[in-house]
A and B are shown apart, each in its own frame.
Chain A
Amino acid sequence: MALVLTEEQSMLRDSARGLISDKAPVSHLRHLRDSKDPIGFSREFWHSFAEMGFAGLLVPEEFGGSGLGYVEAGVVMEEIGRTLMPSPFLATSVVAASALNRGGNAAQKSEYLPKIASGSLLATLAVDEGAKHRPLQTSLQAVRAGNGFKLSGAKALVVDGHVADLVIVAARTAGSAGERDGLTLFLVNPKAKGVAIERTIMVDAHNAARIELANVEVNADSVLGEVDQGAALLDGVLDIGRGAVAAEMVGLSEEVFNRTVEYLKNRKQFGKLIGEFQALQHRAAELYVDIEITRAATMKALQALDADVTKAASSIAVAKARAGTTATRAVQEGVQMHGGMGMTDQFDIGFFMKRARVCEELFGDANYHTEQLARARGY
């Protein structure tokens, strides 16, 4: 598989770019933030997104979706990254749709996937509990009760958790924190008794929530995949999410870089364009190379997911680690090279820095994924 977009993928990119840059430029995010929008994204835009087939991009055709792959999902995420559009696409259309499609039984799939594809159901995955992403440390308890389970515990950084109609909760049905065995995924109705949701306003003005479950009763049909054997399903779903976030970070990095290079070509000091200074030229060139390498690694990882999700872990670790360090470098250089302007709220560059910080934590930061690669290589 060549590491370039096919003609169809290029067309998808063009249509996503056209729609997003037209209807949801960075000013869209700014407006949502400044107006303290009660949900933090535009439902109206989400519906037009769904009408164009994006909401069901990964949903198989038999359930009303487009049946496309992870490279295509990455193409859309990259465009989202360029304008920082807050959108349910990541949590609902990529992560939750993949969890249901990969782990769901026939009844679960036919209940939820068509609604995701039509844009009428928002869903999310709740994994993290502590300050850092450590999926195996899951300790939210699910104890058997009658025909089902009772769930108790707390989750953090649940993307779109404040608006989700369905929350996929990683819980521990056996064993103890740190063990692979004993993890189970549950489909939880956020309106169920005992579920408390607190919307968390984040540094990046995107959407997330903390969720507490206190003896929440779910029946046996709510289990997604197999009881106690959820780790493999979770690994795959998380890797899909990581690939998508890496693609968002590539788009974000490239956009912030393009804006910075434009600034170097227009800003004058000491009677010169600052882009004439070799100190800045070389830093810009290094950053360009970093972004190109990260773009290739991300594309490779998304192709690996399309080939076989269960064999993509190392490629994903490389891509997410690279995306984290590259985006961090891109936004830092972006602010620095914009000088005092880069520090103002009025200027957009700060939004990129804030979003990059959240993307870095989402589904594991560069340190986490670098560590995963070291373990995979046995040292």
Chain B
Amino acid sequence: MSESKTSETETADLETFRNETRAWLEANCPPEMRKPAISDADVFWGGRNAKFSSEPQRIWFERMRDKGWTVPDWPKEYGGGRLSAAEHKVLRAEMGRIGARPPLSSFGIWMLGPALLKYGNDAQKKEHLPKIAAGEIRWCQGYSEPNAGSDLASLQTRAESDGDDFIITGQKIWTSYANYADWIFCLVRTDPAAKKHDGISFILFDMTSKGVSTKPILLISGYSPFCETFFDGVRVPKSHVVGTVNRGWDVAKYLLQHERAMISGMGERGVGRPLGQIAADSVGTDTLGRLDDAMLRGKIASFDVDEAALAACAERAVDLAKAGQAHPAFSSAMKYYGTELNKRRYEILMSAGGVDALEWESERSRHGARPRAWLRTKANSIEGGTTEVMLGIVAKRILDLPGA
């Protein structure tokens, strides 16, 4: 009986929190920030050289930062909002309700932060987490190498011991926004003699360090979100290793789970007008007011079913994690499905757009926004672990199939 009483109290508290949050968001989220981000300029990434693309963007970011809501579930001492799991869910729901944009997009929040909270020492947490929360430092991820893609653990960038420092030499590839990043979290080989998973360390360093250079890679979309990143004898203090030297693979795997969860959530789920109505704008409607392409309409409806179902699964994955019932490899399942779904979304958008979706340079087409986004999605099922690698992880770690 006392248990149900407790849960009643919690429910009442949560309702109070919901009402307060709703009122606060109403009062503090500028109307301009309640529309979906369309271009990269609409996204605020923070960092030393960050510029706000508009005044509402600045106001929204600063208000959320001051409330600790750039990282709502982090501890207060690191700039977080110290929300419980249930409160965090309420905040997300309330932001979703008014279509509020995330105030800050950041690999520090999505990827490094969770890894530091779990594996970082006190000094590292105090140094880095508050700057992530406040958007002061923009991070990039040094994982893939030219010969270490799906087989990431075969990476060769080496870190040689020199007194209190490591000297880092090698090359990374597909480093997202390395040319804009202030710091990098990087996998390096600290023991070349050990088995491939056992000689890797996870290390942090400043991208302005001597010997670091970056070169953007032009993609089929015409954009360059990724770089090649070169390290030529970069000197990094050993105190910058997160976790134990040569145990970096544990940190890397943990972080990848967060990365996969992040990528699977990147699709524009439930934002704005229904996909079928967007399609009807260009395709037209029949006498009953239905999208005048029965096959496309069917594909869109099937997509909508799967998208809504995936949203429920993403919600459940969070709830399972909070309840301690989640399988640690489940983010691979979500990553696989979420990225394949986003590719489907853009195939539909291209089909719906017809000729209009083929223009690459005109103002009318916002410089080919749609075909470029379509092409960009093709990387979704490659980056952060390919679909095939994800299915292999599910087969091995969740289904326990032999020899996988």
B300 touches A285 (CB 8 A): no
User: Which one of A281, A321, A379 lies within 8 Å of B391 (CB-CB)?
Assistant: A281
Among B312, B322, B330, B404, the most chain A Cβ lie within 10 Å of the Cβ of B312
- Distance between Cα atoms of A197 and B112 in the complex (Å): 67
Q: Tell yes or no: B126 within 8 A of A by CB.
A: no
B276 touches A379 (CB 8 A): yes
A378 touches B319 (CB 8 A): no
User: Which one of A3, A285, A371, A378 lies within 8 Å of B315 (CB-CB)?
Assistant: A3
Q: Tell yes or no: B54 within 8 A of A by CB.
A: no
User: Which one of A273, A293, A321 lies within 8 Å of B402 (CB-CB)?
Assistant: A273
User: Which one of A278, A322, A379 lies within 8 Å of B279 (CB-CB)?
Assistant: A379
Which B residues are CB-close (under 8 A) to A2?
86, 319, 322-323
The count of A-to-B residue pairs whose CB atoms sit within 8 angstroms is: 139
Interface residues of B (CB under 8 A from A): 86, 274, 276-277, 279-280, 285, 290-291, 297-298, 300-302, 304-306, 308-310, 312-313, 315-316, 319-320, 322-323, 325, 330, 333, 336-337, 388, 390-392, 394-396, 398-404
A126 CB, nearest partner CB in chain B, Å: 28
For residue B337, which residue of chain A has the nearest CB?
A289
A378 touches B399 (CB 8 A): no
B394 touches A377 (CB 8 A): no
A324 CB, nearest partner CB in chain B, Å: 10
- Distance between Cα atoms of A265 and B404 in the complex (Å): 11
Q: Tell yes or no: A275 within 8 A of B by CB.
A: yes
- Distance between Cα atoms of A272 and B310 in the complex (Å): 35
Which A residues are CB-close (under 8 A) to B403?
272-273, 275-276
Q: A4-B319, A288-B333 are in contact. Are A264 and B304 (CB under 8 A)?
A: no
Which chain A residues in 235-288 approach chain B with CB under 8 Å? 261, 264-265, 272-273, 275-276, 278, 281-282, 284-286, 288
Q: Tell yes or no: A108 within 8 A of B by CB.
A: no
Which chain A residues in 315-337 approach chain B with CB under 8 Å? 315, 317-319, 321-322
Which B residues are CB-close (under 8 A) to A286?
336, 391
Which B residues are CB-close (under 8 A) to A322?
305-306, 309
A374 touches B310 (CB 8 A): no
Which B residues are CB-close (under 8 A) to A13?
none
Among A299, A314, A377, A379, the most chain B Cβ lie within 10 Å of the Cβ of A379
B316 touches A4 (CB 8 A): yes
Q: Tell yes or no: A292 within 8 A of B by CB.
A: yes
- Distance between Cα atoms of A374 and B325 in the complex (Å): 34
12 A–B contacts from the bound complex (CB under 8 Å):
A2-B86, A3-B315, A4-B319, A275-B401, A276-B404, A278-B392, A282-B388, A282-B391, A292-B330, A321-B305, A374-B291, A379-B285
Q: Tell yes or no: A39 within 8 A of B by CB.
A: no
- Distance between Cα atoms of A297 and B312 in the complex (Å): 5
B130 CB, nearest partner CB in chain A, Å: 31
Among A285, A286, A289, A294, the most chain B Cβ lie within 10 Å of the Cβ of A285
Pairs of residues from A and B, 6 with the lowest C-beta to C-beta distance, nearest first: A379-B276, A297-B309, A3-B316, A281-B395, A296-B313, A285-B394
- Distance between Cα atoms of A285 and B291 in the complex (Å): 34
A379 touches B290 (CB 8 A): yes
Which B residues are CB-close (under 8 A) to A373?
301, 304-305, 308
B290 CB, nearest partner CB in chain A, Å: 7
Which A residues are CB-close (under 8 A) to B86?
2
Which B residues are CB-close (under 8 A) to A272?
403
Residues 1-28 of chain A, each 1 if its beta carbon lies under 8 Å from chain B, else 0:
0111000000000000000000000000
B301 touches A371 (CB 8 A): yes
B308 touches A297 (CB 8 A): yes
- Distance between Cα atoms of A288 and B301 in the complex (Å): 23
A378 touches B274 (CB 8 A): yes
- Distance between Cα atoms of A13 and B403 in the complex (Å): 34
B372 CB, nearest partner CB in chain A, Å: 25
A6 CB, nearest partner CB in chain B, Å: 9
A78 CB, nearest partner CB in chain B, Å: 15
A374 touches B315 (CB 8 A): no
B401 touches A284 (CB 8 A): yes
Which A residues are CB-close (under 8 A) to B300?
374, 379
A299 touches B316 (CB 8 A): yes
A261 touches B401 (CB 8 A): yes
Which A residues are CB-close (under 8 A) to B396?
281
Which A residues are CB-close (under 8 A) to B297?
374, 379
Which A residues are CB-close (under 8 A) to B312?
3, 293, 296-297, 299-300, 318
- Distance between Cα atoms of A314 and B86 in the complex (Å): 25
- Distance between Cα atoms of A248 and B150 in the complex (Å): 38
A196 CB, nearest partner CB in chain B, Å: 38
Which A residues are CB-close (under 8 A) to B304?
370, 373-374, 377
A379 touches B401 (CB 8 A): no
- Distance between Cα atoms of A264 and B399 in the complex (Å): 10
- Distance between Cα atoms of A1 and B319 in the complex (Å): 9
Q: A296-B309, A297-B309 are in contact. Are A276 and B399 (CB under 8 A)?
A: no
B308 touches A284 (CB 8 A): no
Residues 157-178 of chain A, each 1 if its beta carbon lies under 8 Å from chain B, else 0:
0000000000000000000000
Which B residues are CB-close (under 8 A) to A315?
308
Which B residues are CB-close (under 8 A) to A282?
388, 391-392, 395
A264 touches B316 (CB 8 A): no
B266 CB, nearest partner CB in chain A, Å: 17
- Distance between Cα atoms of A379 and B304 in the complex (Å): 12
- Distance between Cα atoms of A231 and B114 in the complex (Å): 51
User: Which one of B313, B333, B395 lies within 8 Å of A297 (CB-CB)?
Assistant: B313
For residue B274, which residue of chain A has the nearest CB?
A377
For residue B11, which residue of chain A has the nearest CB?
A1
For residue A372, which residue of chain B has the nearest CB?
B301
Which B residues are CB-close (under 8 A) to A285?
333, 336, 390-392, 394-395, 398-399
A284 touches B320 (CB 8 A): no
Q: A282-B392, A373-B301 are in contact. Are A276 and B402 (CB under 8 A)?
A: yes
Which B residues are CB-close (under 8 A) to A369?
305
For residue B278, which residue of chain A has the nearest CB?
A379
B117 CB, nearest partner CB in chain A, Å: 22
- Distance between Cα atoms of A119 and B288 in the complex (Å): 47
